[in-house]
């Protein structure tokens, strides 16, 4: 992407490079008149139904997020509105990896899939689309407690450990969601893709931190209810954007449980309605549960626990020493003492060293191309940790630039060489670099040989944190794993383009008024060439009823739709809901 449009929004402008790579242009001009009609139908349904069951800020929230019922939102308008509450929005191509999604949230930027569901998936689509992302997530952002939760969730999720299996599942889900939105997808291919998702879901092994966090995300951000078990209100975006499930979820048959850390034990299936839902009394409770889970995560526990998770992840991870030194690379080995405290760690492949999430000059992955290894722990017979010794105290034990020193660790590791530099930040020593250096373990095995070059020794009594990803992502140029599969974009045949024109003519009449008799011609063309259409017919009927004109034409269209609802049971609810909205029109003035 050569140009980067930040929409003049401070949150979007502040995004780091490794997140910008997922952004695509919205291409507003690609939305067809049918797309806008789908948006309008779903939004009017939502509005009509949700004003009673959605958590209260939903309706004013639409306005605060720059959304209208009439047409698909334009990203610039959304950004202008969201900027007022300290958020932004960008469009992406379908599902993006969970770690990147989380990080966007931490930067207070909503990720919106640019595509919109097809008319035949109007009630629900497993693929992320602009209805779900903007009409679902955006309206509730105006609630301060809720958006605090969302960005806090993002910052914790961005540090979560994920497994190799998580990636495989992400790829399978992405592929299935793309297939399902293709107009000519082969049934056999779809069932193969569904089997692969099921297979990978069943063979995940123990769920990773990211998998567990995504459960908490699902049962709150996507499918959460708030209030009491008896009369909860909806705040989850998955429910807010599904005209099917937003009504069915209130049935007594769907079990309602109090939201607590136990929600971790409930896995979910994105292709089916939810068998149970969780109710939180307050948004603060969401933060408390998240905090309880965060306390069990590697980035807070560190030590052998965190290093084990990093080792299993096989991805770039960062180990943080108690001195503040951050070592980012693929952790392939570590040794622990009898009390399970790590005393040696090793990475393989490109590694970088950082302090405070800023790479140390000269210590990027181009310098540490083949990995990095270092002892952890205290020196023998010296009570104070090495990182906390003053310059004077270091000199007293022979650690001075230009001198040869011998360091004996409690673990039995010995480091002997000439000190080139001592690096210290914020009152702690982080790194000592040696020339002519030999490192041995307690059995005398060579861990570093002088012929290998200069030895950079990390300083720190313990490993206090381990998290996924690099400390300085910009310097590490983390190309967050990006999928090769692109979403599908339709080519329209002549017949479909004609249908688009008919939808546009109805929209024009609704916006500018004028000769409503003209809609008789549109209806005639629909009857002649597009007998399977129901939504355009419904829109014509709505206008004629609203203006109270053309009674004979109204009767004809209503009978056609009633017959269609009888002949095609899958359209029955959509058509009868459409009739309901004609008789109980949504008042525009409430929305703006």
**Domains of the chain: residue spans and CATH:** 10-162+208-291 (1.10.800.10), 163-207 (no CATH), 307-476 (no CATH), 494-591 (1.20.58)
Per-residue confidence (pLDDT) for residue 517, from 0 to 100: 84
Confidence of residue 478 (pLDDT cuts 50, 70, 90): low
At 420-429, the pLDDT tens digits run 999 999 999 9
State the pairing for strand pair 109-113/88-92. parallel
Mean pLDDT throughout 479-495?
70
| Integer Cα distance of 11 and 80 in angstroms | 11
Residue 497 structure tokens: 């383009």
Confidence of residue 334 (pLDDT cuts 50, 70, 90): very high
At 298-318, the pLDDT tens digits run 999 999 999 999 999 888 999
At 129-144, the pLDDT tens digits run 899 888 889 889 988 9
DSSP state string for 52-74: HHB-TTHHHHHHHTT--SSSPPP
Per-residue confidence (pLDDT) for residue 163, from 0 to 100: 82
Q: Angle formed by the axes of helices 535-547 and 569-583, to 10°?
A: 20
| Integer Cα distance of 580 and 577 in angstroms | 5
Per-residue confidence (pLDDT) for residue 380, from 0 to 100: 96
Confidence of residue 321 (pLDDT cuts 50, 70, 90): very high
Confidence of residue 209 (pLDDT cuts 50, 70, 90): very high
- Tell me the percentage of the chain whose pLDDT exceeds 70: 96
Strand partners, 353: 327
**pTM for this prediction:** 0.87
* Pick from 153, 113, 86, 135: nearest CA to 23: 113
DSSP helix, strand, coil percent of the chain (3-state; round to 5): 45, 20, 35
Q: Angle formed by the axes of helices 33-53 and 535-547, to 10°?
A: 70
Q: Which residue has the tokens 């405290």?
A: 341
| Integer Cα distance of 89 and 303 in angstroms | 37
| Integer Cα distance of 534 and 520 in angstroms | 15
| Integer Cα distance of 432 and 420 in angstroms | 8
For residue 2, pLDDT over 50 is answered with no
Higher pLDDT, 544 or 172: 544
At 261-292, the pLDDT tens digits run 999 999 888 777 899 999 999 999 999 999 99
Per-residue confidence (pLDDT) for residue 496, from 0 to 100: 93
Other CB atoms within 10 Å distance of the CB of residue 554: 17
Confidence of residue 590 (pLDDT cuts 50, 70, 90): very low
Kindly tell me the burial class for residue 191, based on how many C-beta atoms sit within 10 Å of its own C-beta (0-12, 13-18, 19 or more): exposed
Confidence of residue 206 (pLDDT cuts 50, 70, 90): confident
Question: Which segment of 120-134, 344-358, 533-547, 570-584 scores lowest on mean pLDDT?
Answer: 120-134
Mean pLDDT throughout 498-510?
96
Per-residue confidence (pLDDT) for residue 367, from 0 to 100: 96
Kindly tell me the burial class for residue 102, based on how many C-beta atoms sit within 10 Å of its own C-beta (0-12, 13-18, 19 or more): buried
Q: Which helix (H) or strand (E) element contains residue 375?
A: strand 371-375
């Amino acid at each position: 992407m050569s140009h980067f449009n930040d929409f003049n929004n401070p949150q979007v402008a502040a995004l780091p490079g490794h997140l910008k790579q997922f952004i695509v242009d919205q291409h507003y001009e690609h939305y067809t008149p049918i797309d806008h009609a789908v948006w309008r139908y779903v939004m009017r349904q939502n509005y009509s139904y949700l004003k009673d069951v959605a958590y209260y800020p939903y309706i004013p929230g639409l306005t605060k997020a720059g959304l209208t019922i009439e047409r698909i939102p334009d990203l610039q308008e959304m950004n202008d509105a969201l900027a007022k509450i300290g958020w932004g929005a960008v469009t992406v191509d379908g599902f993006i990896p969970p770690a990147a999604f989380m990080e966007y949230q931490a930067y207070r930027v909503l990720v919106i899939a640019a595509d919109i569901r097809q008319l035949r998936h109007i009630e629900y689509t497993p693929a992320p689309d602009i209805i779900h992302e903007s009409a679902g997530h955006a309206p509730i952002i105006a609630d301060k407690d809720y958006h605090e939760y969302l960005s806090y969730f993002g910052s914790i999720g961005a540090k979560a450990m994920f497994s190799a299996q998580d990636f495989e599942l992400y790829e399978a889900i992405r592929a299935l969601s793309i297939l399902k939105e293709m107009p000519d997808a082969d049934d056999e291919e779809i069932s193969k893709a569904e089997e692969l998702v099921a297979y990978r879901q069943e063979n995940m092994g123990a769920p990773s931190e990211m998998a567990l966090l995504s459960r908490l995300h699902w049962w709150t951000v996507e499918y959460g209810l708030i209030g009491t078990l008896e009369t909860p209100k909806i705040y989850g975006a998955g429910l807010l954007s599904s005209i099917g499930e937003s009504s069915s979820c209130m049935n007594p048959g769907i079990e309602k449980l109090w939201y607590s850390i136990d929600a971790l034990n409930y896995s979910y299936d994105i292709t089916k309605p939810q068998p149970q839902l969780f109710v939180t009394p307050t948004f603060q409770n969401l933060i408390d549960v998240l905090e309880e889970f965060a306390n069990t995560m590697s980035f807070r526990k560190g030590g052998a626990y965190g290093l084990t998770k990093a080792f299993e992840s096989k991805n770039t991870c960062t180990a943080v020493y108690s001195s503040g030194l951050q070592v980012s690379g693929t952790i392939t080995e570590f040794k622990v003492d009898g009390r399970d405290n790590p005393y040696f760690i090793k990475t393989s492949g490109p590694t970088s060293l950082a302090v405070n999430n800023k790479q140390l000059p000269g210590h990027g992955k181009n310098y540490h191309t083949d990995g990095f290894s270092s002892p952890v722990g205290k020196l023998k017979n010296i009570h104070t940790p090495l990182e906390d010794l003053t310059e004077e105290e270091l000199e007293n034990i022979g650690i001075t630039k230009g001198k040869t020193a011998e360091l004996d660790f409690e673990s039995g590791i010995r480091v002997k060489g000439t000190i080139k530099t001592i690096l210290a930040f914020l009152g702690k020593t982080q790194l000592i670099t040696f020339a002519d250096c030999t490192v041995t373990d307690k059995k005398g095995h060579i861990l570093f040989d002088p012929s290998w070059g200069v030895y950079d020794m990390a300083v720190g009594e313990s490993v206090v944190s381990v998290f996924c990803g690099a400390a300085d992502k910009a310097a590490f140029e983390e190309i967050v794993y990006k999928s090769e599969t692109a979403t599908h974009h339709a080519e329209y045949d002549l017949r479909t383009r004609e249908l688009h024109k008919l939808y546009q003519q109805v929209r024009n009449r609704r916006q500018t008024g004028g000769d409503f008799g003209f809609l008789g011609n549109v209806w005639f063309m629909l009857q002649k060439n597009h007998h399977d259409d129901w939504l355009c017919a419904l829109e014509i009927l709505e206008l004629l009823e609203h203006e109270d004109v053309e009674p004979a034409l109204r009767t004809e269209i209503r009978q056609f739709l009633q017959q269609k609802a009888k002949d095609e049971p899958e359209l029955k609810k959509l058509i009868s809901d459409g009739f309901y909205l004609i008789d109980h029109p949504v008042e525009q003035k409430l929305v703006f």
